[in-house]
Every structure is written in structure tokens, then in C-alpha cells.
Structure 1
Amino acid sequence: MTVSRSMLAGLAFATLGLAACQQEAAPPADKAAAPETAAPGASGGGVLRDEVIPEAPPAPSAIQTQPGPDGTRFALLKAAVTGDILTVTVNCTSEKNKWVYLKFDEISVIDDTTSQRIGVLRDNADAWMGSPLNGKDRIGLDCSPNGVIWVKFPAPPATSPTVSINLPGVAPFDGVTVAR
């Protein structure tokens, strides 16, 4: 195959044109830096560069904190009703390697208005509604450095604004306002 000089010249011209377009499309190095904004009250001269540092999400704050077995601490993070279910979330901390086991049939909520004891819910397969499971009848929780459990209960009536939460071996969380 023979290539003419005019074909080579046309190919070279197209290649140079394409390279020029690609160079124009790339921003200059100093423009690719952080976004620039004019300083408030500045009159055209200076430019400030704002660095945006994303904030870390806030750590959940404890509603109450109680001592637990073997130097552990339990922090109640949530007691909220959704529909007809009360969900309780608790954080356990320990400076030493500590595991805590809580039997579901010993975990309860007391309706402060009626003094009625409310046990942990079970699902349609008769499994306890809580986590992390350790076997079929208890929660097993590594508290070092921390661990979180959740348990679900039938919701107390709306006329009961507070409950007391009881975990075996942990001081009770009394007078907890239920979020609705």
C-alpha cells in the first residue's frame, strides 16, 4: 500500500489538531487546586481559598449509664417506639477483655405507669428479637473496648411516658423517657 504525501500531511494535521484540543480541555495546574471564593467585603483584589473539612458524625450520647458485672459500664443509647414496638439500644464498655452474657428471659422493661413487666419479643419462628445472639436464648457481648446490643419489646401504651429497663447484672435504667 502506497501512502501519498498529502495523506501523511492530512494525518499529521489531524493529530496536531486533536492534541491541541486535548490540551485546551485540561485546566492549568494552578486552576485545578481548591475552589476560590472572593473574600467578603473585598473589592476585587484578594482571593481566599476555603478548605472544606467534613465533620465526623456525632457519637451517640448516653441517656443513662449504669455499672455492670466485672467492671463493665452500660450506656443506654435509645428507647424508642416505632409502630407497636419499643427498641432499646445499649452500649457496653470495658477496659479489660470482658464478655457479658444476658439471657433474654431475664431482660425486661417495666411500664412505670402500670408497673407491668414487659418481656422481649419473639418473631414468628419463636426466635428472640435481639442481637448479637450467642446461642438461641442469650446475647453474648464483647465489651472490650465496646459493644452494642439491641432488644425489641411490645411498646407500652402512649399513656406511659417512661419505662425502667432491666438487664441482668446491670443496675436498672429507671424513669427512661420513651421517644415516640
Structure 2
Amino acid sequence: MHLTALAACQKEATPAAPAQAPQQAVAPTSGESLIREPVAAQSQPAQAIQTKTVGNDTIHLTKAKVVGQILNVEFVAVPPKAPDGKYDYFAGSSHKLADFDYIDKTTSKKITLLQDENGKYMADPINNTHHKEIRIPGSTRHPLTISLKFPAPPETSPTITIDFPNIGSFESVPVSR
């Protein structure tokens, strides 16, 4: 009789295994919420290495990483939020590419943006009219990523100071490799 009772318990336990299938069905729902989190996190200053505020606009330095012989730097310009919680318009600004640079703390040298063989700066987004500046249009109502490429600092330089024209200096920025 005890064996029959154990066999009956085992039979009941077997149907319990398919009950895990609905739990797996719940997992995609929680996965969906995880997918939404990174989108919201892109505008969060917590991801920023450093932040500058100019008027109501905010500039986040989000990346300073060497790949090969190139230092890739990224900023995210974030417009202010309107009372309804949506993004408002940027104030609008232009920044000359010739004025972007970084200072290597180890060598005390000023390093300017890379240019291709035609003299075009390695940056994005570049103003299509002059190809000499980055323009943050006043009509933009969403965060805007600004990408810059510089010659890489030597491996002996763990930090640099990045100059963003009309915004300011981002001091002692750690360089990742």
C-alpha cells in the first residue's frame, strides 16, 4: 500500500512539471519589461561619465574608448522636459569641429579630431552645409548622440580632458581600452 501511495504521488508530480510551462510563458512578459528598461536608461544621466548643463539643455559624456589607434568619444545632448513629461526643443547650437580637442594629461599635448584623406572631420552629425561644425538643431525634441574620433592617447594616459566648444571641459575622463 505504501508503494501504491508513492506511485500515486509520483503520478501527481508528473503533471506538476507541465505547470512550469505557464511560468515560462510569464518569463517573456518580464523580458519585455527588461527590454523597455534600457530604452529609458539611455536618457538617464546615471550612464554618463560626466555631465554639463547649458541653459536648460544637458550634455552627457557617455564614452571615451580606444579601439585600435582611435579614441571614440560619445556625447548625448538631452533637451529639457516639458511639463507633460515629453522632451521640449533644444535651444539650438553650433560647435566648430576645429575647436574639439582633448588634452593628454601625461604628455600635456592638445590633440584635435581626426580627418579623412579629404579633410572631412571624423564626427557625426556634421552640419551638411559647411562640414565644419556640429549643429544641435533647435527643432530637435529627442536626445541626440554626438560621435567624435581622435587619435588614441598612449596607454600610459589613463585620463584625458575633453574640450567641447561652447559647453566646457570634461576633466579627468577615464579612457577605457
**TM-score in same-fold range (> 0.5):** yes
Residue identity (%): 32
Which residue does the alignment assign to 2:102? 109
Which residue does the alignment assign to 1:150? 147
Q: Establish whether residue 72 from structure 1 lines up as the match of residue 69 from structure 2.
A: no
Q: Which amino acid aligns with 2:100?
A: I
- 1:120 CA displacement: 0.7
Question: Which residue, out of 155, 160, 166, partners 2:163?
Answer: 166
Q: Which amino acid aligns with 1:138?
A: E
Which protein shows a greater Rg? 1
Normalised TM-score (structure 1): 0.71
Q: Which amino acid aligns with 1:88?
A: V
Q: Which amino acid aligns with 2:157?
A: S
Question: Which residue, out of 89, 97, 100, partners 1:97?
Answer: 89
Q: Which string of whole-angstrom CA distances, capped at 9 and with x for unpartnered residues, describes residues 34-56 of structure 1?
A: xxxxxxxx812331312223331
Which residue does the alignment assign to 2:175? 178
Q: Establish whether residue 44 from structure 1 lines up as the match of residue 14 from structure 2.
A: yes
Q: Which string of whole-angstrom CA distances, capped at 9 and with x for unpartnered residues, describes residues 37-95 of structure 1?
A: xxxxx812331312223331733511111113x32111011100111110100000112
2 CA distance for matches of 1:136 and 1:64? 27
Which ranges of structure 2 fall in alignment gaps of 5 or more residues?
A: 1-11, 81-87
Runs of 4+ in 1 over 3 A off after TM superposition: none
2 CA distance for matches of 1:71 and 1:81? 31
Q: Which amino acid aligns with 2:53?
A: P
Asked if 2 retains the 8 angstrom alpha-carbon contact of 1:63 and 1:75, the reply is yes
- 1:100 CA displacement: 2.2
Which residue does the alignment assign to 1:136? 131
- 1:144 CA displacement: 3.1
Q: Which amino acid aligns with 1:152?
A: K
Asked if 2 retains the 8 angstrom alpha-carbon contact of 1:67 and 1:171, the reply is no
Q: Establish whether residue 62 from structure 1 lines up as the match of residue 48 from structure 2.
A: yes
Which ranges of structure 1 fall in alignment gaps of 5 or more residues?
A: 1-41
2 CA distance for matches of 1:81 and 1:121? 13
Number of residue equivalences: 138
More helix by share: 2
Q: Which amino acid aligns with 2:66?
A: V
Q: Which string of whole-angstrom CA distances, capped at 9 and with x for unpartnered residues, describes residues 129-164 of structure 1?
A: 101011210011246331110011111111111011
Other structure's SS at 1:165 match? strand
1 CA distance for matches of 2:114 and 2:167? 20
